[in-house]
């Protein structure tokens, strides 16, 4: 595969200003006719016209009304002698086969309908084009298809005409007035129904919102529609960005590689992020829908109106839009404590996915320097770390300053394809003299340097001078291709607490922009406990040297909820790490258990916060702290700790369970969701203890709940409690759950996922969870072709169940290799994601490390792997 380098960017030699597309839709052979209005770029050297095309067949090419000769070169269609003159029209006719398109990139069929996915490079699988984001054109699209099978015909923009054709066919013509890159093109032809609603923006204009789903799913679209309405209102209120389209459509499809796609005016969504009813979706699903609907809607400005010059700039739109959807969810959550809970969840997700990425074989900067398959760079780094970079800018210029920056960004670049530099420049220029503007070039290292920086903080208190001096130092480990790093700009929100919990110094912003700097706090009454990096103000690994006593102070008193949670996690982490080092089982100390009990009992704390605070750091997070890790050892230690918390806090769990039962009607609000989350954690702990002590009461109650729960959150929570505790009732409960699911795909996905994540027994029965997951491959409901289903079983096992996956006999790795080789010919994007499971194999202890290398080498030896998989394996084995 050819590797593309960021430094090689050159503007295109030709622009395409206008496109007229006509589709004769047929699953076996669809005919695409396109008329391209092409303009030479006067700044470029005269050269052949090279259009991208992949897995499609050209029928004819005409230029300026006459047939023109062309040739193929790799995946390009080359016209050596395009017509002279500044502008000309090129007409192309080609075919593609949607039914055979199992990659789900380009035009494909799903559930008997036609759908598209063009980001990043899917448009070239539909027709020949300059398939790059800096080529922006106005599209007019005609769709023709059988009316009975495909009564709904949709594309971007506005419907301008529709009517009947001979032979039971019909047509629709759509026009999108906004110039857009080809990756934002979409079409849908299917038998769908829709929920619709009108909305009036501040300017008084009325707009139509529509959510299209399969027949029978209409009752599950209310939440998606409500989320869309809220998104429209929020973007106008917070950033002054209104809906610019007459109509905005969302279409749900069952087979989809990503979560959703922001095609102009016609968002296409994985059903997982549209369909929800209390009976089928959990609180987490409801929150996910709100955030993804928001995310895709917000792309309309950050991504579509201003797009990326090239794919290296992907974080320009993704980092910024993740930041916007996180802010949206926080604003929707409302109360300060609900906002904090959302922030904790976002940081936990960042640490679970992005930190390991930054430390592994695929580490890359937020703005990568090269790629073989761009689809491999839709990563946690580009998205989540990219969002943190935007958040740091907001911290450095303030919330109002950031809004001014966004306004300037749109004044300067609306309608353009730009770079991450352009964005940072606009935020800085709107805030002259700010902490950002004065060190912009240094700040931009966040875009170019990979790896998670380490921040060390040490304080000295001078009682006589009542002065506290805090010294911050930073360092960063080498990452692939970047042996040394220059200092980052690290905004550190800091406050000082007394040992008794009172505030000794109010929160202030410290900005570290060199290797080492000291900051002085005057008038400090007593030796303080520093509360640093509040709200996780920078994506770094903090070493503040605090011991148990100080962390207990922060856990009990910090007014920053994030740091309060963090203090509890660090107390737990320190114990987990110490125990992993020991050969013998470790008993949890009284101080820690009491601290957890205090949190659980504190009536002033939000139940959602308690659930987060009482959940031990994940096995993956523990592994990340170690240069070499043994997944089985970590699992055994963490399970042992969970059992101890289950038994020593037994009465408190029982009380928490009863106290947090929700008796009102179901609503996916943060407050109800928090109570359900805590009740479910309590139930899990109660079942764990009951199974160990042979008491049937709590498992019985959990079983009852699987049968009777009025909502999915409680049902699956109870099922999880039985499965993870290895209760005898787990099997009948799983059967019951499957029956209740009634074949509903998203619920069946949950059933697979839960079993794939089932905690592996420690000691007797070890291997049972792996065996169960493996056996599920043969279940009649299982399929590799549906990405959601494949992810629910295979990815959950390989990524989220370390003790089942990393086996001394290497059976987990064999399972991984076999599935990877099965999926790759079907869907390379999906296969490449699965390949990423091995990112951190070099940190594994023996015998896992050698076995992992062998599995990697075995897969890499296959000659006909996709470019996507080859790139990931290549980096892993480098
Ligand atoms: N659909 C993906 C997203 O919104 C890629 N743009 O992040
Ligand atoms: Zn996005």
Statement to judge: residues 88 and 185 lie in one domain = yes
Q: What number is the ipTM of this complex?
A: 0.98
Statement to judge: residues 147 and 16 lie in one domain = yes
Residue that is written with structure tokens 């990568």 in the block = 368
CATH number of residue 355's parent domain: 1.10.390.10
Cα 383 to ligand 1 centre (Å): 9
In a domain, 264, yes or no: no
Q: Which of 296, 318, 611, 624 is catalytic?
A: 296
Look at residues 409, 428, 447 and tell me which one is the last residue of a structural domain: 447
- Mutating to test ligand 1, I would choose from 259, 306, 374 the residue with most ligand atoms within 8 A of its C-beta, which is 259
Minimum CA distance residue for ligand 1 atom 2: 261
Residue that is written with structure tokens 């709100």 in the block = 290
- Mutating to test ligand 1, I would choose from 118, 121, 261 the residue with most ligand atoms within 8 A of its C-beta, which is 261
Minimum CA distance residue for ligand 1 atom 1: 261
pLDDT at 282 over 90: yes
Task: Give me the residues paired with residue 73 across strands.
Answer: 76
Half-sphere exposure of 797 (CA within 13 A, CB side): 29
Residue 363 Cα distances to 449, 480, 589, 605, angstroms: 10, 7, 38, 38
CATH number of residue 494's parent domain: 2.60.40.1840
Q: Is 550 a catalytic residue?
A: no
In a domain, 285, yes or no: no
Task: Give me the residues paired with residue 302 across strands.
Answer: 306
Give pLDDT tens digits for 76-112. 999 999 998 999 999 999 999 999 999 999 999 999 9
Q: Which of 62, 187, 77 is nearest to 122 (CA)?
A: 187
Minimum CA distance residue for ligand 1 atom 4: 261
Statement to judge: residues 47 and 97 lie in one domain = yes
CA 64 to CA 69: how far, in whole Å?
13
Cα 500 to ligand 2 centre (Å): 45
Give pLDDT tens digits for 585-594. 999 999 999 9
In a domain, 738, yes or no: no
Cα 322 to ligand 2 centre (Å): 7
Minimum CA distance residue for ligand 1 atom 6: 261
Statement to judge: residues 442 and 489 lie in one domain = no
Element (H, E) at 238: helix 222-239
Element (H, E) at 89: strand 87-96
Cα 640 to ligand 2 centre (Å): 40
- Mutating to test ligand 1, I would choose from 378, 380, 383, 833 the residue with most ligand atoms within 8 A of its C-beta, which is 378
pLDDT for the residue 583: 84
Ligand sitting nearest the alpha carbon of 122? 1
Minimum CA distance residue for ligand 1 atom 3: 261
CA 698 to CA 802: how far, in whole Å?
27
The domain of 537 spans 454-545
Quick one: tokens of 546?
Answer: 């605090």
Sign of CA dihedral 855, 857, 862, 865: positive
CATH number of residue 75's parent domain: 2.60.40.1730
Statement to judge: residues 17 and 146 lie in one domain = yes
Ligand sitting nearest the alpha carbon of 308? 1
State the closest ligand 1 atom to the C-alpha of 318, by its place in the atom list counted from 1: 7
Statement to judge: residues 409 and 530 lie in one domain = no
Look at residues 190, 222, 247 and tell me which one is the last residue of a structural domain: 190
Cα 378 to ligand 1 centre (Å): 8
Question: What pTM does this model have?
Answer: 0.99
CB 474 within 8 A of CB 512: yes
Residues 110-129 have a mean pLDDT of 98
Question: Domain tally for the chain?
Answer: 3
Query: Which residues form ligand 1's pocket by a CB distance below 6 Å?
Result: 119, 258, 260-262, 295-296, 299, 318
Cα 50 to ligand 2 centre (Å): 29
Look at residues 190, 221, 253 and tell me which one is the last residue of a structural domain: 190
Statement to judge: residues 370 and 468 lie in one domain = no
Give pLDDT tens digits for 394-412. 999 999 999 999 999 999 9
Mean pLDDT of the chain: 98
CA 438 to CA 238: how far, in whole Å?
26
Residues 847-876 have a mean pLDDT of 98
Confidence of residue 64 (pLDDT cuts 50, 70, 90): confident
pLDDT at 1 over 80: no
Statement to judge: residues 442 and 485 lie in one domain = no
Give pLDDT tens digits for 658-669. 999 999 999 999
Minimum CA distance residue for ligand 1 atom 5: 261
CA 667 to CA 277: how far, in whole Å?
10
């Amino acid at each position: 595969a050819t590797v593309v380098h960021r430094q090689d960017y050159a503007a295109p030699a030709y622009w395409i200003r206008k496109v007229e597309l006509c589709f004769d839709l047929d699953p076996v052979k669809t005919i695409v006719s396109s008329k391209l209005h092409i303009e030479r770029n006067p700044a470029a050297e005269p050269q052949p016209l090279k259009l991208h095309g992949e897995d499609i067949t050209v029928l004819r090419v005409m230029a300026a009304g006459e047939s023109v000769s062309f040739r193929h070169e790799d995946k390009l269609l080359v016209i050596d002698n395009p017509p002279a003159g500044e502008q000309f029209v090129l007409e192309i006719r080609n075919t593609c086969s949607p039914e055979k398109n199992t990659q789900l990139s380009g035009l494909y069929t799903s559930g008997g309908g036609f759908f598209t996915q063009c980001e990043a490079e899917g448009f070239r699988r539909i027709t020949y084009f300059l398939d790059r984001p800096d080529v922006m054109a106005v599209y007019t699209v005609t769709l023709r298809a059988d009316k009975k099978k495909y009564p709904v015909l949709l594309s971007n923009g506005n419907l301008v005409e529709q009517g009947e054709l001979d032979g039971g066919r019909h047509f629709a013509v759509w026009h999108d007035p906004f110039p857009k890159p080809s990756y934002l093109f979409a079409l849908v032809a299917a038998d769908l129904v829709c929920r619709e609603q009108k909305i009036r923006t501040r300017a008084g204009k009325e707009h139509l919102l529509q959510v299209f789903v399969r027949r029978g799913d209409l009752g599950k679209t209310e939440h998606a529609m409500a989320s869309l309405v809220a998104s429209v209102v929020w973007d106008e209120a917070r950033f002054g960005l209104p809906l610019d389209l007459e109509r905005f459509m969302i279409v749900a499809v069952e087979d989809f590689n990503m979560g959703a796609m922001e095609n102009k005016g016609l968002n296409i969504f994985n059903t997982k992020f549209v369909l929800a009813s209390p009976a089928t979706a959990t609180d987490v699903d409801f929150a996910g829908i709100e955030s993804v609907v928001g995310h895709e809607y917000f792309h309309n400005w950050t991504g579509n109106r201003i797009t990326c010059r090239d794919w290296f700039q992907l974080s320009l739109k993704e980092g910024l839009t993740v930041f916007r959807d996180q802010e949206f969810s926080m604003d929707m959550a409302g109360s300060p404590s609900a906002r904090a809970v959302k922030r904790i969840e976002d940081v936990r997700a960042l640490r679970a996915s992005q930190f390991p990425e930054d430390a592994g074989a695929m580490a890359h900067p937020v703005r990568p320097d090269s790629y073989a398959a761009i689809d491999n760079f839709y990563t946690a780094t580009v998205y989540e770390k990219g969002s943190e970079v935007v958040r740091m800018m907001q911290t450095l210029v303030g919330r109002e300053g950031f809004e001014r920056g966004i306004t300037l960004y749109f004044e300067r670049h609306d309608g353009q394809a730009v770079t991450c530099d352009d964005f940072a420049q606009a935020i800085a220029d709107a805030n002259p003299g700010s902490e950002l503007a004065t060190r912009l070039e240094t700040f931009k290292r966040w875009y170019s340097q990979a790896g998670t920086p380490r921040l060390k903080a040490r304080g000295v208190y001078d009682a006589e001078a009542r002065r506290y001096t805090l010294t911050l130092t930073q360092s960063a480990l080498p990452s692939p291709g970047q042996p040394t790093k220059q200092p980052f700009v690290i905004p550190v929100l800091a406050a000082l607490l007394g040992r008794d919990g009172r505030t000794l110094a109010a929160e202030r912003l410290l900005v570290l922009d060199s290797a080492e700097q000291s900051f002085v706090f005057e008038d400090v009454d007593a030796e303080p406990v520093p509360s640093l990096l509040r709200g996780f103000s920078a994506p770094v690994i903090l070493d503040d040297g605090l011991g148990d006593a100080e962390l207990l102070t922060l856990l009990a008193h910090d007014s920053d909820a994030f740091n309060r949670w963090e203090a509890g996690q660090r107390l737990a982490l320190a114990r987990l790490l110490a125990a992993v080092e020991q050969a013998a089982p470790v008993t949890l100390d009284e101080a820690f258990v009491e601290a957890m009990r205090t949190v659980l009992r504190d009536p002033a704390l939000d139940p959602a916060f308690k659930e987060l605070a009482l959940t031990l750091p994940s096995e993956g997070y523990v592994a990340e702290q170690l240069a070499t890790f043994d997944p089985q050892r970590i699992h055994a230690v963490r399970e042992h700790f969970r059992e101890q918390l289950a038994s020593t806090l037994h009465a408190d769990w029982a009380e928490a369970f009863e106290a947090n039962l929700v008796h009102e009607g179901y609503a996916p609000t943060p407050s109800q969701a928090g109570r359900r989350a805590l009740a479910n954690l309590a139930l899990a702990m109660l079942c764990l203890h009951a199974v160990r002590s042979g008491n049937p009461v709590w498992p019985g109650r959990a079983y009852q709940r699987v049968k009777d729960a009025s909502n999915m959150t409680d049902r699956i929570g109870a099922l999880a409690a039985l499965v993870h505790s290895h209760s005898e009732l787990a099997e009948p409960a799983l059967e019951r759950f499957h029956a209740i699911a009634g074949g509903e795909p998203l619920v069946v996905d949950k059933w697979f996922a839960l079993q794939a994540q089932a905690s592996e027994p420690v000691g007797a029965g070890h291997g049972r969870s792996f065996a169960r997951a493996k056996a599920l491959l043969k279940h009649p409901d299982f399929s590799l072709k549906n990405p959601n289903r494949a992810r629910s079983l295979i990815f959950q096992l390989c990524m989220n169940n370390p003790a089942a996956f990393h086996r001394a006999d290497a059976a987990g790795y064999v399972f991984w290799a076999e599935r990877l080789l099965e999926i790759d010919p079907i869907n390379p994007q999906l296969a490449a994601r699965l390949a990423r499971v091995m990112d951190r194999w070099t940190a594994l202890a023996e015998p896992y490390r050698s076995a992992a290398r062998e599995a990697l080498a075995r897969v890499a030896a296959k000659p006909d792997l996709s470019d996507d998989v080859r790139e990931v394996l290549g980096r892993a084995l480098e």
